[in-house]
Amino acid sequence: MNDPIGDAEMNDSGMSDAGQNSFEARARKASESVRRQLAAAEPGDELGLRRAHRPIRRMAIPRVAAAAVLVAGIAVLGPRLVGGGGSGSAGLGGAGVAYAAGPLKAFANCDAVLGYFKEHAPDYLIEQASRGWAADGGAELSSQPTAARAADAPPGATVSTPAHSTTNVAEAGVDEPDLVKTDGKVIVAVARGRVHLISAHNGQLSKVATLPDTDVRNVFLSGTRVLVFSGQRPEEVAPGPRSARQRQLLTTYDIATLRAPKLVATLAVDGDVLDARLVGAQVRVVTAFSPDLDIPSPYVGREGGIAEESKKELQDAVAKSTVDDWLPAYSLTNGVGAQVSSGRLVACPDLARPDTFSGIDTVAVSSFDITSTLQDRHTVGVVAGGQQLYATDTATYVTTTEWSRDDTTPTTSVHKFLTGPSGATSYRGSGEVPGSLLNQYAMSEVNGVLRVATTVSGSRGWVNSRMVNEGVVTMLREQDGTLKQVGQIDGLGRKDNESIRAVRFIGNVGYVVTFRQTDPLYVLDLRDPAAPKITGELKIPGYSGYLHPIGTDLLLGVGQSGKGKIQFSLFNVSDPRSPRRIDTQAYGWGNAGAEFDPKAFLYWEPRNLVIAPITSYGDKLDFSGLVLLRADADGLREDARITSPGSVGEPVRSLIIGDDVYLLSEHALQSNRLDGYRMVDRLKF
């Protein structure tokens, strides 16, 4: 156990000059990043801000431009579901050629799969190479798991377990992987790329064990099981014909004995994990794989297009390929490192494709019990790129956005799947909405009706045509194997040429923020799916990037002021015809994590506390840590600011156990009393 440290610093005034200089450099860098994103966000580029925050990775073959089909199960494949692993990855967003997805069609066998790739891949790769996406043997693509939110306490909690917070998620009861999880007694934290198991009692912290996994992205905690999502570098893969493939590891541990965590199984899959969900004990993991054929870097001419000899080399490489060159593989090892099984992640008869060509990625969805040894898995897949995933306890909705070759309006296809308690899944139907989605919060299902908010961009006018943006909310209901449009609202932000920056659906009410120069907040009445309507509108400077309900009548927005400073805005929405902003709390230039990553946000209802990590500077507001705000009908009041002394990196998460609040930064975990906010303990990683 660490020695307790004295009272928490409520600001950064106690930092050394070196610490302040280091802090200021980090804060200025963060702020300038936000400013550049705002400046670079052209009208209609509703993905611009999110894309700028995504980490970069390299894939051997470029992906379909923002095409997205994530599959949680495909009924057209029939009732048989075979063993295999699964997970998914995002495609390249918003740049270039697009291929629309249509009805899903199953492949009869592996010969049909190989024939499909050989028929479509040459022209596709030549076109991508002509755009410069295949230079140096690969394209640098941006990807990160879709943003997510809160979950119920893990199974196994007892009455003696202190009250504790959970991950902020998009759908109650549907957990999402995160950097920190707790059951009220144990904290599982990801820091410096490792997973640390920490005993927490009355604010006292003791690091009991560190798991061996490296390059960890996030984790699930359910009872005594921990599921770790991590990367595997090519040099760590056993030599072989496909040893250069990027792989992701799904590793399960039993932490019933905290000091001696037991490795249960490791599933290595080709590609990258897009996202995952946990409902009860059932895990759904989505991965995407880009083929890694040994294709020479083509010569691209100044005026576009590639040399004829390069085309011939590419065509020859495709002609010589086998089905295993195109499909992801998996390898499963047990708790002692012995290989249990390996092979194709998705069997050919369990793979499908859209009716219209949608790229050469393979997106796979696997479901399994988190308490199992991962041998009994249900895996299905589709040949397409991956983008947005929204899930309820039983349904999974996935999207495919068609990015047009010209200035015509793109469309998004939405596919619905049902997943049962056993993990078996079935395809229910597809529909289409205009425009493109911001994130998973742009979808929500109530009483069988899916509401989808999109930004529609297109060229308007015959002379001096210009790009025009507007927000649209479309209502879809499953009918006879399709998702049929039953109602729609359009024109959100159209007058000022604005794109959607935040969406929140709460029951039968929708809240949409659009932005260009001002921040219109629209209130939508969605009680009648056939006749949704705008009931209220409020225009204010700046914008909100994340919206969170506070009680029944208040809505909190996290974003930027009109001058580019961090701002929390509190809205009274008790009268849907006349929403009012009743208060704000502004800080310096910089960013609040929740603006781009809702999992960084915490609302602790028992104490009516909003807790959010921020990094800001300017106007004597240099600060990096947690801000704690109280929000009620009288407004927003800052309760405290909690920092962690010394150089511990950027704040990323907060959590609450009992009477203590915890700050997780890049290099440390710190506890403070909720009463008075005195620092109790700090653990450096």
Mean pLDDT calculated for residue range 600-620: 92
pLDDT, mean of residues 461-484 = 82
* pLDDT for residue 599 is more than 60: yes
pLDDT over threshold 90, residue 119: yes
Please give the Cα distance from 663 to 653 (Å, whole number).
Answer: 6
| pLDDT at position 646 | 80
Q: pLDDT grade, residue 495 (50/70/90)? A: confident
Angle of helix 110-130 versus helix 308-319 axis, rounded to 10: 160
| Mean pLDDT of the region 199-216 | 97
| pLDDT score recorded for residue 245 | 79
Residue 374: what residue type? L
Q: Is 610 within 8 Å of 558 (Cβ atoms)? A: no
DSSP state of 112: H
Give the confidence band of 93 by pLDDT, cuts at 50, 70, 90: very low
C-alpha closest to that of 453 among 431, 469, 436, 430: 436
Percentage, residues of the chain above pLDDT 90: 54
The per-residue pLDDT for 308 is 82
Pairing outcome for strands 351-354 and 378-383: parallel
What's the pLDDT tens digit per position in 209-224? 999 999 999 999 999 9
Least confident of 126-135, 332-341, 374-383, 645-654: 126-135
Q: In which band, very low, low, confident or very high, does the pLDDT at 292 lie, cut at 50, 70 and 90?
A: confident
Which stretches of 403-465 are assigned E, i.e. beta strand? Answer: 411-419, 425-434, 443-446, 449-460
Say if residue 27's pLDDT is above 70: no
Task: Name 605's Cβ contacts closer than 8 Å, sequence gap at least 6.
Answer: none
Q: So what's the pLDDT on residue 304? A: 56
**The predicted structure's pLDDT at residue 41:** 40
Instruction: Note the pLDDT tens digit of each residue in 415-429.
Output: 887 877 777 776 777
Query: Do the beta carbons of residue 385 and residue 359 sit within 8 Å?
Result: yes
Of the listed ranges 261-275, 390-404, 437-451, the least confidently predicted one is: 390-404
Q: What is the pLDDT of residue 135?
A: 36
Element of type H or E holding 431: strand 425-434
For the cut 60, the answer to whether the pLDDT of residue 511 exceeds it is: yes
Look up residue 672 and give its two tokens. 């403070």
3-state secondary structure of 321: coil
Q: Do residues 329 and 270 lie in contact, with contact meaning Cβ atoms separated by under 8 Å?
A: yes
Q: With beta carbons less than 8 A apart as the criterion, state whether 362 and 326 touch.
A: yes
**Distance (Å, rounded) from C-alpha 175 to C-alpha 153?**
9
CB 515 within 8 A of CB 534: no
- Report the pLDDT value the prediction gives residue 542, as an integer from 0 to 100: 86
Answer yes or no: is pLDDT of 464 > 60.
no
- The beta-strand segments (E) located in 90-172 are 104-106, 139-142
Residue 20, burial from CB neighbour count under 10 angstroms (0-12, 13-18, 19+): middle
State percent of the chain over pLDDT 70.
74
Residue 671: closest CA among 202, 36, 251, 79: 202
Going by the DSSP 8-state scheme, the letter that residue 442 receives in this structure is G
Residue pair 289/346 in contact by the 8 Å Cβ criterion: no
State residue 564's pLDDT score.
85
Give yes or no for residue 85 having a pLDDT over 50: no
Type of residue found at 602: L
Hey, which of 287-301, 383-397, 662-676 has the most confident mean pLDDT?
662-676
Average pLDDT along the chain: 79
pLDDT confidence band for 181 (50 / 70 / 90): very high
Judge whether residue 311 has pLDDT over 90: no
The CA distance from 569 to 587, in Å, is 12
* Residue 414 pLDDT level (bands cut at 50, 70, 90): confident
19, pLDDT greater than 70: no
pLDDT of residue 238: 58
In terms of average pLDDT, the best of 512-521, 560-569, 651-660 is 651-660
Q: What pLDDT is attached to residue 622?
A: 86
Residue 386 phi, psi dihedral angles, 5° rounding? -115, 145
Question: What is the biggest distance separating any 2 CA atoms in the chain, rounded to whole angstroms?
Answer: 72
DSSP code per residue over 608-673: TEEEEEEEEESTT--EEEEEEEEEETTEEEEEEEE--SSS---EEEEEEETTEEEEEESSEEEEEE
**What pLDDT shows up at residue 74?**
33
* 522-546: pLDDT as tens digits: 999 999 999 999 999 999 888 999 9
What's the first-to-final CA gap in the chain, in angstroms?
13
CB-based contact 599:149 (threshold 8 Å): yes
pLDDT at 26 over 80: no
Average pLDDT over residues 235-250: 70
Output the pLDDT for position 421. 75
Q: From CA 576, how far away is CA 606, in angstroms rounded?
A: 26
pLDDT of residue 430 exceeding 70: yes
Give residue 307's pLDDT: 78
Indicate the pLDDT class of residue 641, thresholds 50, 70 and 90.
Answer: very high
Q: For residue 83, give Cα distances in angstroms to 281, 331, 423.
A: 18, 12, 11
How far are the Cα atoms of 148, 457, 594 from residue 276, in angstroms, in the given order?
10, 30, 20
pLDDT tens digits for range 573-598: 999 999 999 999 999 999 899 999 99
Which residue intervals of 178-243 are DSSP H helices? none
pLDDT at 386 over 80: no
**Residue 304 CA, distance from chain mean position:** 34
The band of 280, judged by pLDDT with boundaries at 50, 70 and 90, is very high
Taking 60 as the threshold, does the pLDDT of residue 55 lie above it? no
CA 478 – CA 481 distance, rounded (Å):
7
3-state secondary structure of 30: helix
pLDDT greater than 90 at residue 207: yes
For residue 97, the model assigns a pLDDT of 26
- Confidence check: pLDDT of 150 > 50: no
pLDDT of 117 higher than 80: yes
Of 135, 99, 139, 141, the closest CA to residue 310 belongs to 135
| Residues 6+ away with beta carbon under 8 Å from 212 | none
Q: Is the pLDDT of residue 94 over 80?
A: no
Q: How far is CA 303 from CA 131, 300, 312, 338, in A?
A: 10, 8, 19, 53
Least confident of 391-400, 547-556, 650-659: 391-400
